């Protein structure tokens, strides 16, 4: 089914799309602190599982994608897409959604209609939106299977890094709209110990010296700032292996890596001192996760919600929600 585009946005990236749409609606100033959530946002999009891995790599032949019979179930497996939709000022208003699948990684809004399929549409509300489907079985309007078109468009690596299928969630409410791209990864096992990625989950959070449980709101008072720090992530960051670029003989070698998680911090009151913590720089140096929650200039008593989004750097993503009651 060909998808009619809901708008004429043609922007170089997701961030530009979000900023342009929000600014045009009059809801966001361009100098907004990104950790402060007060309008419609998509804070994270996750897939479960984040990666599907088959023992043998698919290939292209005669206008078709060739997958060994015993591996068909892997590529046709069901996945669940989840999105964290927050809308603090919306008073529970309905949020429209469209979920698209397309073949070009550079098409952040799935605008190329001949290579885009509308997977689902409807209305939802703030909270966690979920939808289960089988992206590996999707057929595009041009009659080609989605996986085939993605492989054909990958003229540089020819699927060496896996078949990366772009999924785009478009949400909107009363003039605000957001496009959020998520990549579904279909990969193959080059080495015996190569395993599919697992979803990263934040093991715990501390505020000051106190453990902060997602199930139990904290009672906070004073001027702050309040230091926030995740529990040690080292035991949870996976070792993994990827194939190298082929040599002149077509051989690939293994590259052993270790995940370095990044955390994104958001709140509906006040700000965080840093929007994203963690990760590793180009020299291989890890960044610390120290952060601070800071109050507005004139604080008031209220309930506060915080969201921490975890990314493992290879497609895995999850989030945790924390709450507190603040008293000046």
Per the structure, how many domains does the chain have?
2
CATH number at residue 254: 2.60.40.1080
The residue-averaged pLDDT of 230-246 equals 93
Task: Identify whether residues 161 and 224 lie together within a single domain.
Answer: no
pLDDT band at 89 (very low <50, low <70, confident <90, very high): very high
Residue 266 has pLDDT above 80, yes or no: yes
Alpha helices in the chain (DSSP H): 14-24, 72-75, 146-153
Q: For residue 51, what are the contacts with CB-CB under 8 A and spacing of at least 6? A: 162, 185, 186, 187, 196, 197, 314, 315, 316
Residue 225 has pLDDT above 60, yes or no: yes
Task: Identify whether residues 230 and 266 lie together within a single domain.
Answer: yes
Torsion of CA 122, 123, 128, 130, to 10 degrees: -20
Residue bearing the bigger pLDDT, 275 or 214? 275
Q: Give the three-state DSSP class for 147.
A: helix
Task: Identify whether residues 239 and 316 lie together within a single domain.
Answer: yes
Residue 136 has pLDDT above 80, yes or no: yes
Distance, in Å, from the CA atom of 306 to the CA atom of 294, rounded to the nearest integer, reads 12
The residue-averaged pLDDT of 218-245 equals 94
- Transcribe 52-67 into DSSP letters: EEESS--EEETTEEE-
pLDDT in tens, 27-63: 444 457 999 999 999 999 999 999 999 988 888 877 7
Task: Identify whether residues 251 and 131 lie together within a single domain.
Answer: no
CA 281 remoteness from chain centre: 20
- Enclosing domain of residue 221: 196-328
pLDDT of 93 reads 96
The residue-averaged pLDDT of 183-210 equals 93
pLDDT of 294 reads 97
101 within 8 A of 119, measured Cβ to Cβ: yes
Residue 75 has pLDDT above 80, yes or no: yes
């Amino acid at each position: 089914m060909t998808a009619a585009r809901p708008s004429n946005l043609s922007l170089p990236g997701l961030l530009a799309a979000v900023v342009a749409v929000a600014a045009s609606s009059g809801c966001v100033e361009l100098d907004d602190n990104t950790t402060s959530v007060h309008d419609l946002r998509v804070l994270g999009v996750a897939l479960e599982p984040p990666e599907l891995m088959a023992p043998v790599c698919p290939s292209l032949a005669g206008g078709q994608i060739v997958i060994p019979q015993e591996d068909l179930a892997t590529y046709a497996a069901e996945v669940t897409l989840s999105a964290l939709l927050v809308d603090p000022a919306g008073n529970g208003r309905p949020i429209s959604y469209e979920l698209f699948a397309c073949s070009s990684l550079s098409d952040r809004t799935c605008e190329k209609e001949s290579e885009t399929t509308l997977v689902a549409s409807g209305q939802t509300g703030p909270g966690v939106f979920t939808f289960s489907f089988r992206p590996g079985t999707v057929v595009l309007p041009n009659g080609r299977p989605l996986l085939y078109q993605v492989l054909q468009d990958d003229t540089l690596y020819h699927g060496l890094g896996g078949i990366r299928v772009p999924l785009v969630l478009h949400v909107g409410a009363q003039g605000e709209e957001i496009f959020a791209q998520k990549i579904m990864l279909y990969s193959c096992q080059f080495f015996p110990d190569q395993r599919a990625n697992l979803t990263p989950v934040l093991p715990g959070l501390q505020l000051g010296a106190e453990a902060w449980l997602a199930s139990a709101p904290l009672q906070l008072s004073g001027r702050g700032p309040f230091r926030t720090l995740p529990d040690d992530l080292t035991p949870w960051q996976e070792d993994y292996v990827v194939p190298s670029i082929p040599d002149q003989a077509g051989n690939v070698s293994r590259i052993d890596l270790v995940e370095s998680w990044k955390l994104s911090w958001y709140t509906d009151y006040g700000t965080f001192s840093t929007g994203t913590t963690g990760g590793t720089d180009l020299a291989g140096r890890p960044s610390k996760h120290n952060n601070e929650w800071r109050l507005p200039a004139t604080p008031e008593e209220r309930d506060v919600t915080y969201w921490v989004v975890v990314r493992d750097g290879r497609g895995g993503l999850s989030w945790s929600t924390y709450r507190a009651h603040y008293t000046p």
